[in-house]
Amino acid sequence: MLFTPEFIREVEEDPIMGLSNACQLVRSKLDEYLHNTEWTDIEHELLWEAASFMALIIDHHNIAIDIALPEPTSDIGLNCGALQQFIKTVESEVAGHATLLKINAYTTRYESMLSSSFAYEFSQGDLERVQSLLNELRIQISALEQLEESHRQRLLKRLEKLQSELHKRVSDLDRFWGLVGDAGVVMGKLGTDAKPIVDRIREIAQISWNTQSRAEDLPSNSPNPMLETTDDSL
C-alpha cells in the first residue's frame, strides 16, 4: 500500500497539504524506478493507486479542482501518461491552494497573538465621544487668548498627536491621563475661565478610567480615588 494509515489520517486533517504531499510521494517513488521507453506494471499500479486516492480526496472534501480521473484502457502506456498528467495537474492546482492555506494560517496565528496581547479597548460610543471632546478642546484652546501662544501651541500639538493615535484598542492610557495634568496647569493660570476646558478633560479622564477599570476586571462603576481627588481640586 502506497499510503500508510498515518499518512491518510494526516490527509484527513489537512486535505490540501495532504494532496500536495501525496503528489511529492508519487514523484519520489517513480524516481526509484528506471524505465526507458516503456512503462512497467509496477509503475502502472503505482500511478493508478495514487490517482484513485487523490480523486477520492478531491471528491470527498469538495476541493475545487476541475479534473476527472482518466478512463482506463488496455494500453499501459496510454494509462500511465494520462495518470501522470492527472497527478501533475492536481499538484499544480493544489500549489495555489496550499499557498493560500499557509497565508490563512499565518493570518490566524498572528490574529490570535494580537487578540491575546493585553490592551485597553474603548467601546465604540466612548471612542466617538472622546474624538468629539478632543475636537471641542482644540477649538476652545485655539480661541483662548488669555493663554500664552507657546503654551497654547504645545497643548494643540498634544491634542493633535493624541487624536492621531486614538484607536479602539490602545496599549496604554498614559497620554489620556497626561491631560489631567494639563487641565491643572490651565486651571492654575486661568482660574474659572478654564472651566469649559477642564470639564471636557475631566470627562475624557472618566472615560479613560472606565476603560481601564473594565480591562483590569474591576467591578462596574468602580470609582477612582485619585480622579475624585482631582475633580475636587478642579
The DSSP string of 146-181 is TS-HHHHHHHHHHHHHHHHT--SEES--HHHHHHHH
Supply the pTM of this predicted model: 0.47
**What local confidence, expressed as pLDDT, does residue 35 receive?**
60
Nearest by Cα to 130 from 161, 158, 163, 105: 163
Query: What residue type is assigned to position 23 of the chain?
Result: C
pLDDT for the residue 225: 64
Buried b (16+ CB within 10 A) or exposed e, 94-108: beebbeebeeeeeee
Residue 170 bridge partners (DSSP): 120
* pLDDT tens, N- to C-terminus, the chain (234 residues): 899 999 999 988 888 889 999 999 999 988 887 666 789 999 999 999 999 999 999 888 888 788 899 999 999 999 999 999 999 999 998 887 777 766 765 776 677 666 666 788 888 999 999 999 999 999 999 988 888 899 989 999 989 988 888 888 888 888 888 888 888 898 888 888 889 999 999 999 999 988 888 888 787 677 776 655 444 445
Length, in residues, of the chain: 234
Instruction: State residue 54's pLDDT score.
Output: 94
Q: What is the pLDDT of residue 56?
A: 93
The pLDDT value recorded for residue 227 is: 59
The alpha-helical segments, DSSP class H, found in the chain are: 5-13, 15-31, 41-60, 76-116, 124-142, 149-164, 174-190, 195-215, 225-233
